Chains A and B, each alone.
Chain A
Amino acid sequence: MLSLIIVLPLAAAAVLAGLPRLKDSAARTVFAATAGVETALAVGLWAGYRDPGPGGLAYEERLRWIPNVGSSYHLGVDGLSLPLLVLTTVIFLACAVYDWKSRDRVRARSALFLFLETTCLGLFAAQDLILFFLFFDLSIVAMYFVIAGWGHGDRARSAMKFFLYTFLGSLALLVGFIGLYLGADPHTFDIPELAAANAFRGNPAGGFVLAAILLGLAVKTPTVPFHTWLPPAHTDAPATGSAVLAGILLKMGTYGFVRIAMPLLPDAWRAWSPAILTVGILSVLYGALVALAQSDLKRMIAYTSVNHMGYILIALGAAGAATGAGSTIRATAVTGAVTQMVSHGLITGALFLLAGVLQDRAKTYDMGAFGGLATPAPKFAGFFAVAAFASLGLPAFSGFIAEFQIFAGSIGAVPLTAIALPGIVITAALFLRALQRIFTGPVKGRAEGFTDLRPAEMLSAGSLLVLSAVVGVFPAPLLAAITPAADAIVSLVRR
C-alpha cells in the first residue's frame, strides 16, 4: 500500500516522460488524475490507520536493499508521518488544479511535479536513514529543475543558490547519518533499530553527530542564520513550485527533527536544547521583523515561513529542555509542532498560490504597484484576506490550534520562550499592512484591469483554506493521530 502510493506518481511521471507526442491536455489530465488518486489513497491510508503503539509502525514494509551496510527499503507510518503524507497529496492536487490553464511545457512540468511528489511521499514514509537521504536529495534535484525551468526573474541564480545550500545541508546530514551508523552496534541505518539502541547514551561524540544533523536540517527548514537561500528561491519559483517548496519541502527539515534528531540522539538533544531554543526564538523574531520590512509580497510570505518554522523549533527545543514541567506539557508542545507543520503547509501553500495570481496578471509582486485591488478583484481580495488571517493565527484556523499548543507547551516547560510571543503580533501587523496596501484605497497602478480569480485558482487555494478551517474548528481527528506519537517522542527524549 505504501509502496503503491510512493511509486504511482513516479510511474505516471515515467509515462509522461516517455511519450513525447502527448498533448498538453492529456498531460495535465494525467497529472491531475494521479494527484487525485494519490489523495484518495492517502485518505484511505488514514481511514484504515490504527495507532500502532509507542515505537510501532503501521503499514510497515521492509525489503533487503544494501544489507552489508545495514540499510533496507523500510517504510512505515506513524502519527508523525501520516498527517504529512496526506498533506503532501493535498498540496500536489491543489497544484495540479491551479496549473490547469498553464501552457508552458505542460508535459515536462507535470512529469517533474509527479516525480517531486514521489520524493516527498517517500521521505515521510522512510524508516531507513539512507532511504530518507535518497528522497531528500532527489527532492532537491527536482526542485532545482522546477525553479530553473519554470521560474522567472533571476531564476538560474536562485535555483543554483537553492541547490548549493540545501545540498551542502544534505551532505552534513549524510555525515551525521554515517556517525549514527558507526555508533550503533551492530552497525545499522534503520531508524527504529537506532532509536531502540540509543547508542550514544552518555557518549560525548553524540553531540558532534547531532551538530551535523542539526546543520543539515536547519538549512532545509530553514532557520536563522541558514535561511538566506529561501527568499530568492521563493521569489523566482513558479507559484506551484513555491507552494510545494514552502508547503512540503520545508517540512522535511522539521520532520527530520522529530523523526531522526530527537529520538535517535536524546542525550545530545537535551544538551543542545538551549541552542535550539535560541535559534528558534531568533528565527521567530528575525523572520517576522524582516518580513515586516519587505515590499515584495512573495518575499514577505517567504520570511513569514522562517518565522513559522521558528515556532516549531521552539516547541521541539522546549520538549528537550532540562528544566520545567512534566511530560504532558512537553507532549503538548510536540503535538503543536507537528500540527504547525500541517497547518503551515496548508496556509502558506494557499498564500503562495494566491500570490502567483499577481505575477500571472501583473508580472510583479511589488506591493507598491497595487492599490484598491479589492474593487476589480473582490474574490481575490476575499481569499487573500482569509489566507492572511489564517496565517497570523486567528482562532478557527489551524494556525491557532498549532501556535496555541506550541506556546502552552513551551512556556509551560521553559517560561523564557514567552519572549517569542511578539512574533505573533508582528506577523499580524505585517499581514494587515499588506492587505491594506494591496487591496484598500482607490484603484491605482497595476490593479487597473486586474481580472479576478478563475475557478481553478479558487478551487485550489480555496480547498487548502477550507482544510485549514476544518482543522481549526474540528482538530480532534488530527490531534488524535499526532498525540500518541508525540507522547512517544517525548518519552524517547526524556529517557
Chain B
Amino acid sequence: MTTPTTPKKPRSLSFRTVAQLVALAIADAAVSLWVGRQAYLWMPPQASAEAVLVDDLFGFLTTIGSFIFLGVTTALLYSVLFQRADKYDISDGPPVEGNLLVEILWTTIPLGLVIWIATYSYQIYDQMAILGPMEHMNHVPQLGLMPSAEAATLPAVPERTPIEVHVRQWAWEFHYPDQNIVSTELHLPVNERARLKLISEDVLHGFYVPAFRVKQDVIPGSTIDFGFMPIREGRYRLRDSDYSGTYFAANQGVVVVESEESYQQWLADAAAQPLTEADNRAFREFTKLGDRPISAGWKTVEPAPPPRVNFASSEEDSYE
C-alpha cells in the first residue's frame, strides 16, 4: 500500500524515447499544417485585400493552435486510456514534484511563441493600414507600401470624396456627395481603396462586411474615417456589428463591388432617379400588425421612418 520513499533519479531519455517523441511531433505538425490550410475554407469569400491578409494570419494561428491542442489532448488521452490504477490499487504514483529544466522550458517556449504570434500579427496589421477613428485619410499616401499584389499594381488612386455612411436605429444610408446621391445599397469600384466617413445618428453601431474582414464601431458624436480595398466583384452583406437596440438584427444592407464602368453607370442611373421611400425591415415590422410571436408588449424605441433615397434595394435581395 505504500510506495517507495526514496525519490528516484529521473532517468535520462533513451534514444528510443527521443525518436518516438520526434515522430509524434512530426505527425502532429503534419496534421496541424493540414488543418491550417482548411482554415481558409471556413471563411467567407475573400473580397478585399484585407481579407487575404487576415486569412493568412488565421491560417497561421490555426496551425499553431492545432499543434498545441492535439499535442496536449493526445497526452491526456493516453494517460486516461493506459495509466489507470487497477481497481483495488490505492497506492500512490511516483512522487515527481517538478523538474526545473522542464518548467523553464515550458515557460520560455510559450513566451517565444507569443512573441512570434504577436510580431506576425503586428506585421499583418501594419500591411492592412486600417484606418481607425484616430487617423485621417490624408496620412496614408503610404498606400503604395501595401504589399498585396492587387495594391502594388494599381493605377494612381483617383481623388474621390469619401462616401458618407449614415446609420441610425435601424437603417443604413449611403450618401455620395459628388453626385448628391442617396442610396440604401453601397456601391464601390473594385480594386480601388474605398473611402468612407462613418456617421451614427443615435447609438453605437458597427460597420461590418464579413467578406471584407473589416469592422469599425460607428460612434455617435464623431465622424470616423474608414478605408479598405475591395478586390472582387460581387454583392456582399453589410451587418450592424454593435448591438443597437430592438431591431438590431434587422439592420443589414448590401455592398456591391463592381467594375469602374458599371460603377459610373450606376452613379449616373441613380442620379437620374427621384427620391423614393426605401424598404426598411425594422419599420415594416414595427408597423405591421397581425401574427406576432410571443410578446410582452414592452415599449420600444420607434424605428426611424424608411430613408428616402435615389436607389433602394430590398433587404431580401441576394448577396454572397
Chains A and B come from one and the same complex: no
- Enumerate chain A interface residues (CB-CB to B < 8 A): none
Measured CB to CB, the residues of B under 8 A from A are none
